Amino acid sequence: MSESVIEKVDSEGIVRLTINRPKALNALNSDVLSALETHLTELENQTNLRAVLITGAGEKSFVAGADITEMRDKTPEEARAFASQALRTIQRLETLPVPVVALVNGFCLGGGCELALACDWAVASDNAVFGQPEVLLGVIPGFGGTQRLPRRVGPAMAIDLVTTGRKIDAKEALRIGLVNRVMPQAELESYVEELTQQLKGNGPQSVRGAKQAVHDGMDQDLDSALALETSLFALCFAGEEQKEGMSAFIEKRKANF
């Protein structure tokens, strides 16, 4: 396998990206962010893309945070540029038109938690540890944590986490809605295979439409969001995917999307 900082595996449009710095607990540095942005830019133009799974190499860490060694001596201007690079990259991940799933194994702290927050949902192994410990280093979250975290778990819990810097385990992360599912570490890979097969069986354009309806509708008033949903629903009937899906249901067979 490649020794690049981001490894990519494509299984019929289900793309798995692995941050590959296990000795550094997959900490985010400029090289990782640059490589990740390059991959995401390519994925934006991949016509057969069905879903993206993102994880970290090794058994100890998803992403333990931003690379403190790189950050320590930055000037305010350099820190702004670094944060801007990270925000741009993470936003590319967030705005992909297909489902994006974080597979969290071990440490998911600081920039790692911010990366997971940009995913549509997260699945955690039972050894996962989450947190925004930046205040312990004399800074605040700079990769979107102060904005995406309250949108995910509510402002009170978000302020708790970003001002105390405390870490929480997978069980508490599930309770507050930071992750969607927790499972034994040994079962995470079998879940990935199950999820991959499930996503392959769904209509790809309808999945994209469903994600668009949720994401775009969240920023609108209810009436406008419902009108958006109706328009996207109607659009489904303009292509062959709906005809195949409903015909397969009536004919009691598996749809061939």
Supply the residues annotated as catalytic: 114, 134
Alpha-carbon distance of 128 to 169, in angstroms, equals 6
> CA 255 → CA 15, 241, 248, distances in Å?
22, 9, 5
Structure tokens, 39 = 């991959």
Compute the chain's Rg from CA coordinates: 19
**Letter for the amino acid at 191?**
Y
> CA 43 → CA 19, 59, 129, 182, distances in Å?
16, 26, 29, 28
Place of tokens 């000795």: 23
